[in-house]
Structure 1
Amino acid sequence: MRIYVTSVFVDDQEKALDFYTRVLGFQKRTDIPLGGPRWLTVVSSEEPEGTELLLEPDGHPAVGPYKKALVDDGIPAASFAVDDVAAEHERLTELGVRFTQEPAEMGGVISAVFDDTCGNLIQIVRP
């Protein structure tokens, strides 16, 4: 068994697609219209056949309180591996990304957390 698709709830799929591709560097993989929302996935440009990230609309009534609780508590909705957290932090900061946690070593890993502009906190980590 392996992970095929995982998701992050977004408030605007088009804005999310722009952020996740133009800023983070992912590639659009699937874009299927579903009569409003889309089945819209991105993949790592380093692993184009790897796990897909679904940019899932956050319209379900339970999602808003869930996302707000995570953000209020500083809990990332997803975690992405990078080779160099400090370099990625610098690159993203130069692109205007707002970090809520600067790079820090925690329990044998280095991580940082940023706002994805779509209602989520995202962690980057070097295991």
Structure 2
Amino acid sequence: MIRINVTSVLVDDQAKALAFYTEKLGFIKKTDEPAGEARWLTVVSPASPDGVELLLEPDGHPAARPFKEALVADGIPFTQFAVDDVYAEVERLKGLGVEFTQDATDYGPVVTAVFDDTCGNLIQIAAMK
């Protein structure tokens, strides 16, 4: 059986990303190892510390930044995270200074919101009803 172990988000600055993803979003650092000029830097949800790791991967590949810029220009989130209550999470994150491009929006079976991760990505949070 295939499992998801690590997934990535492309970031323009690993230190800035680590601060945002831990201090604002509440993830915890799992792995921080040298990897050439960068780091193998992962975070996990405190609700699942042995679960899927999110790699804060440098966006140094020539295709990465134009790809990210095109997604942002079109308002498309790079990835999605689950939350229990989108409305409460939006208020919590706004209180921490996180900027949203889409406030909590009810789409019937799901509520979503989209924020800027300060590292070149739009990120969606969602909760199924």
TM-score (norm: length of structure 1): 0.98
**Aligned residue in 2 for 1:85:** 86
Task: State the Cα distance separating 1:78 from its structure 2 match.
Answer: 1.1
2:54 aligns to what? 53
How many angstroms does 1:75 deviate by? 0.7
* Cross-structure match for 1:76: 77
How many residue pairs match? The answer is: 127
**C-alpha deviation, 1:2, in angstroms:** 1.2
Alignment of structure 1 residues 1-127 onto 2, 5 Å: 1-127=2-128
Match of 2:69, SS state, is helix
Shift of 1:35: 2.9
CA distance in 2, matches of 1:65, 1:57: 14
How much has 1:36 moved relative to structure 2?
1.8
Provide structure 1 residue ranges, at least 5 long, that are not aligned to the other structure. Answer: none
Percent identity over paired residues? 67
Structure 2 CA distance, aligned partners of 1:16 and 1:63? 16
TM superposition score normalised by structure 2: 0.96
Tell me, what secondary structure is at the counterpart of 2:101?
Answer: strand
Structure 2 residues not aligned, in runs of 5+? none
Q: Which stretches of structure 1, 4 residues or more, deviate above 2 A after TM superposition? A: none
**Deviation by residue 1:74-112 (Cα, 9 ceiling, x = unmatched):** 111110000000000000001000000010012410000
Structure 2 Cα separation of the partners of residues 107 and 122 of structure 1: 20
Give the superposed CA RMSD. Answer: 0.7
